[in-house]
Amino acid sequence: MHQRQSPMSPMSPMSSTSPKFPDWQGVPVARSLWGGGGHSAIARRIRQWTLAAAGLVLLTPLGAQTPSASAAAAGANKDLCAALKPGAAPAKPPAIRYGITGSGEEPLALLWADKASYPNNGKLYSLEPLEFAPTDRMTALQAGQLDAGTISFPALLAAVHAGIDARAVATLVEVNKEDNEGAFASLADSGIRSVKDLKGKRIGYYGPNTISEFWVKSALVRAGMSPRDVSFVAMPPPAQEQALRNKQIDVAWLARQFLHKAKETGGLQVMMTPFEAVNTNQPSLLIMFSPKFVQANPQAYCAWRADYQRALKTWIAQRESLYPKLIQAKYLTPFAANAGPDGGRIADGSLSLAELNATVQDMITTRFLPPPMQRPATELVLTGYALLR
């Protein structure tokens, strides 16, 4: 059973006035990040403030020089886990303090929900799932209270840009044709059936700089429209269906379980899926690790990685039969388990460097990200240890 955590540290004091962001998929960065004058002293100060407000304390100066992409690419293809010689099991296995979101991590959750099937958990490593709000999760990582965690792709970009000690090592959910993480929905009698019908409409989403906002912006640009053609309304996931039915918004982003419920109630239609928005495979939800932890505990990390890959294959093959274990472990509720297949899983959990680079470029082109935040994929992954394809 995982615990809900609320980190408190001098690095990022929490108070009633701290900004709150409603997206469990990742850490938002304030909208002013891509305001004009990107190289002025004032703009730099704005970027520093907004990153700090999102829980991303700057550890290195913005725009600091990083290793060349070619040098990083040369090392990225080396698999240090494959070259690792197995050692004796330690008397006390290293703890992997893992920050979970509580959504989309079903294959990973098998490592503690079905622990008997993964004996390395407790022998070569000890996986400790800890549930955090998105901004708290990043604060905890910076404060040394976490070693790994789940992160959205936009949040990973923001973290790396801010100099945070986090790099992607594997994929949890990928946007593809089989992905069923949710969809944008409209009322059946609204006349909103495609992106072309969105001009002047109000779009429900999780908040500024979240992946749901990116999907809409990418779709609009692809359709020859502008993100300024719509207005965005931030609200928590459970509130979106009712807001749509009350006509407070014209389109709602409904995660898989909420979409399933809405379809059963009736009166709604799927307007666009994430794949239809971007028209290509893209990373959505990733697993990050602290490079310092992996370098200090390579055997523990590599044992975890092997178990995660095995859990993924098991999940894809036996998903229906595994739901009871996740419910018993209190990772899922019956409501979420009955929402249909999740999809969007990569059988070996690997990341595609080409897809990462293409997605970053799409985010820049659609003005979802400012150009200074562009990073080559090799700077976003943990060289030598990430699962790559």
For 198-213, what is the mean pLDDT? 94
Mean pLDDT of 310-317: 96
What residues are paired with 376 via a beta bridge? Answer: none
Q: Is 317 exposed, middle or buried (0-12, 13-18, 19+ CB in 10 A)?
A: exposed
Q: Under 8 Å CB-to-CB from 13, ≥6 apart: which residues?
A: none
| From 36-50, 100-114, 231-245, 259-273, the region with the lowest mean pLDDT | 36-50
Residue 316 is predicted with a pLDDT of: 94
Residue 364, pLDDT above cutoff 50 = yes
For residues 308-313, average pLDDT: 98
pLDDT at residue 336, rounded to an integer: 84
- At the topology level, CATH places domain 182-278 in D-Maltodextrin-Binding Protein; domain 2 (3.40.190)
**pLDDT category of residue 184 using cuts at 50, 70 and 90:** very high
- The answer to which of 199-213, 227-241, 334-348, 372-386 has the lowest mean pLDDT is 334-348
Tell me: pLDDT of 211 over 70. yes
Closest CA to 351 of 316, 314, 325, 377: 377
Would you say residue 203 has pLDDT above 70? yes
Q: pLDDT digits over 53-97, tens only?
A: 334 433 333 333 334 444 455 555 689 999 998 889 999 999 999
> How many percent of the chain have pLDDT more than 70?
80
Predicted confidence (pLDDT) at residue 47 exceeds the cutoff of 60 = no
Confidence check: pLDDT of 228 > 80 = yes
How many Å apart are CA 224 and CA 19, to the nearest integer? Answer: 34
pLDDT value at residue 3: 53
The predicted pLDDT at position 209 comes to 87
pLDDT digits (tens, 9 = 90+) for 159-169: 999 999 999 99
Concatenated DSSP letters for 129-180?
A: EEE--HHHHHHHHHTTS-SEEEEEHHHHHHHHHTT-S-EEEEEEEEESTT--
Confidence at 35, pLDDT banded by 50, 70, 90: very low
CATH number at 41-175+283-379 = 3.40.190.10
Quick: pLDDT tens for 172-182: 999 999 888 89
Q: How many CB atoms sit inside 10 A of residue 67's CB?
A: 12
What number is the average pLDDT over the span 282-288? 96
Can you give the pLDDT at residue 18?
A: 28
Judged against a pLDDT cut of 80, whether residue 381 lies above it is answered with yes
SS3 (DSSP) at 186: strand
* Positive or negative: CA dihedral 15, 213, 203, 272: negative
Q: 234: part of which helix (H) or strand (E)?
A: strand 231-234
pLDDT of 107 > 70? The answer is yes
Quick one: angle between helices 211-222 and 153-161, nearest 10? Answer: 100
132-136, 189-193, 315-319, range with the lowest pLDDT:
132-136
**pLDDT value, residue 137:** 85
How does the average pLDDT of the chain come out, rounded?
A: 83
pLDDT at position 335 is 85
What pLDDT, on the 0 to 100 scale, is given for residue 2? 55
Q: What is the pLDDT averaged over residues 297-310?
A: 98
Give the pLDDT score at 74.
Answer: 52
Domain boundaries, given as residue ranges, for the chain: 41-175+283-379, 182-278
Model pLDDT, residue 75: 56
Closest Cα to residue 33, out of 377, 384, 371? 371
